[in-house]
Amino acid sequence: MGRILAIDYGTKRTGIAVSDPLRLIAGGLETVPTKELEHWLADYFAREEVSTIVLGKPMRMDGTPSDTWRFVEPLARRLQRAWPDKEVVFHDERFTSVMAHRTMLESGIGRMARRDKALVDKISATIILQSYMEFNR
């Protein structure tokens, strides 16, 4: 059984988190420019065994898909075609950016570092992954 990789998709940057091989711990991995995401994934999958890809599902408060969904759904289809051996699933990503900022505050990260959107994206991906892992335990 391979790792679980989570993606917090953004139109400019995409946060990525990954589990340990035993699927116990979620950790932030990288933030990549979205236009390079699929190439980055190909390189990563060549080095590491990943069996599940979790895509953050962008939702509005009323439960309907947000505007970003129109990018995430086609990405899921491309990932399934490119890597049919990997399960591609969606997990609700509501509040992850808010939770990421709160996590940064509580951990004592300075104000300038909290403005780093790439760090927020990576932490958001970690929160998506942790939530997915807890939901499926």
At 59, the pLDDT band (50, 70, 90 cuts) reads confident
Distance (Å, rounded) from C-alpha 57 to C-alpha 2?
22
Where are the extended beta strands (E) located within the chain?
A: 3-8, 13-19, 26-33, 50-57, 87-92
pTM greater than 0.85 (yes/no): yes
Beta bridge partners of 53: 5, 88
**Greatest Cα-to-Cα distance within the chain, rounded to the nearest angstrom:** 42
> Which segment of 24-28, 31-35, 66-70 scores lowest on mean pLDDT?
66-70
pLDDT recorded at residue 97? 61
pLDDT at 50 over 60: yes
Domain total in the chain:
1
Domain of 13, CATH number, reads: 3.30.420.140
At 111, the pLDDT band (50, 70, 90 cuts) reads low
Q: What is the DSSP letter of 36?
A: G
For 89, the domain range is 3-135
